[in-house]
Structure formats: C-alpha cells, structure tokens
Amino acid sequence: MGRGVNILGYDPLWRDSAKARFKAGHFERIHAGGFQTVRVNLHAFGHLDADNHLDPAWLETLDWVVQNALTNHLTVILDEHDYNKFGTDASGCSPKLLAFWQQCSEHFQHAPENVLFEILNEPNGQLTSSRWNPLLKEALAVIRRTNPTRNVIIGPASWNSIHSLSSLELPSEDRHIIPTVHYYLPMEFTHQGARWNKQTAGLSGVTWGTETERQRLQKDFASVQSWSTTERRPILLGEFGAYDKADMESRARYTACVARTAESLGWSWTYWQFDGDFVLFDMAKNDWVQPIWKALIPPTQNAIH
C-alpha cells in the first residue's frame, strides 16, 4: 500500500456525477504525485433502500472509482465510513453493515487483490469493544464467503485509537487481516478551531514541533509497533493530519514527522484527506498544497506535479 490518501467521502459525485469535484484526472495526479493508494470513504448507508439493498446507480459510480484507480496503478481501500450513525445507533446500523458487505463483497469478489475492504471506520460511542468485536467477526465471515483471501482492514473501537489496540479481537487463524489505527494526537493541536469538536473548537495558535512533542509521537508509535510484533500483523495508519486552522509550518512539521516515523516502522499510511478539511490538494488552484505535499512525499521523491 505504501503512501496513500483518503478521497471522495463528501464529494457530490455520489449523488450527481455532473456536480463532482473529483474528476478522473485526479487519480492520475495522485499517482504522479508519489502516492500508491487511495482510501475511498464510502457512506453507503445513505444508498441502501428500506430492504437494505444498494442503489445500482451508486454501485456503478463505485465501479467507476475503482476502475479509474486501478487504471492509474493505485491500490484501493473500500472503507465503509458511516461511523457517526453507528456511534448513536449501533443496533440499527449493524444489519446495514452486514447487508452492505454481503453485497459489496459479492460485487467485487473477482476484483484484483489490490482492492482491499475496510469493514468500518472508527467504531465509537455505542459501538464499544464488547459490541464491535463480535460484529467485526460476523462481518468478516460474510466477506470470507466470497473473498476467502482478500486483505481486510480492521481497527479497534474508540475511534481506531492506538490506546484501544489491546482490546481488538481478531480471528487468529485469518492472516489476511491488516489492523489499522488513526493518529491525531495531540488533539489540541490537530483539531484546533475544528467546529465539530467541542473540546478544541475555541482553540487557536497552538503550535507543534518541540523535542518533547516528537518524543511523545515516537513513544505512541512504539507502543503500536510492540503490539504489531507480538500479534505478527502489519499496521495501516489509516488517518492522520492537522486541521487547516493550525499554522502551516507546524502542520508540515507534524505531517512529516508522522509519515516518516510510520515509514521507519514499516507501516503503510493514508493521509486525511485529499480535499476538504486537512486539505492536501487545492481544487480551485488545481495543484497540491505544497508544504503538506512535500511533507508527505519528500522533495527527493516527488514525482510529477
């Protein structure tokens, strides 16, 4: 998977292709920019009917996404991203998740092996570890009926927190599982000014980059690596980044430190996100946000602009 980026979660493409911000050419830009993977954020629950059947038009759009990514030599992660709904209604969402993966896994059962499934982004709220562990096994069993050896990405409860890895229960006999974690610590820096986070919405001017802060990051990652070694499983750092309200120099320092530390441990990563909040690519200028892009892809390794 190497280096990747999250795409398409909140793009109008899913409702009306004529209004899409993300175009076919962006897949080429991503690959040319030095990335190997796209993590496609799917809000599939909004495209299920009353009987939990997926809208055929939505599946056609998804086919377009997957085919364009593969054509541009990108690994594809299909990430079911309805985490907010799950956090407030775990019982109501569980049948939807199983129905989605039954249909999605059948639909893509003949896809190349570099199409990966991620069962659910950031289990949280009502979806505690005690509820998530049985559900992930049930969803995995659904996938395995048609995709016995496809790599499946699964993260722990509590928002895919690094501190919840020890509570993640995976079938020990299934070696085609890639655990994932997300990293936004310290939240006071990465989410300052973020209107959706009550604890950090009023913060501003928080910088990052002291030796103590770097050491904390390295210690956090070392704890994940220890778990990885013990469990003999690889790690995907599925999300990281700093919100746009932080100063650009601190954002770039933080982004580079996270990416290089992850790489030093052999982890793949997917930055949050291509456009929108935490923006990596400026759609209006049709160009990379240069400090963030260069932090992710060092200048000696930059490909074509």
Contact 76, 116 (CB under 8 A): yes
Q: How far is CA 178 from CA 152, 153, 155, 181, in A?
A: 6, 5, 8, 10
- What are the pLDDT digits (tens) for 93-149? 999 999 999 999 999 999 999 999 999 999 999 999 999 999 999 999 999 999 999
Q: How far is CA 272 from CA 118, 127, 162, 229, in A?
A: 16, 23, 17, 26
Arithmetic mean of pLDDT, 8-23:
94
Q: Which fold has domain 3-301?
A: TIM Barrel (3.20.20)
Give the model's confidence band at 221: pLDDT under 50 very low, under 70 low, under 90 confident, else very high. Answer: very high
Give the pTM. 0.96
Residue 205 has pLDDT above 60, yes or no: yes
Residue 224 CB contacts under 8 Å (≥ 6 apart), including other chains: 162, 165, 181, 235, 265
- What are the pLDDT digits (tens) for 223-234? 999 999 999 999
Residue 303 has pLDDT above 70, yes or no: no
Q: 162: which 2 tokens?
A: 């690094």
Domain map (residue ranges) of the chain: 3-301
Residue 20 has pLDDT above 80, yes or no: yes
pLDDT at 304: 46
User: Which residue's structure tokens are 């209006």?
Assistant: 284
- What are the pLDDT digits (tens) for 29-84? 999 999 999 999 999 999 999 999 999 999 999 999 999 999 999 999 999 999 99
How far, in Å, CA of 69 to CA of 300, rounded? Answer: 25
Residue 183 has pLDDT above 80, yes or no: yes
| C-alpha neighbours within 13 Å on the C-beta side of residue 233 | 26
Residue 301 has pLDDT above 80, yes or no: no
Q: For the chain, what is the mean pLDDT?
A: 96
Number of residues in the chain = 305
Element (H, E) at 65: helix 56-71
pLDDT at 300: 73
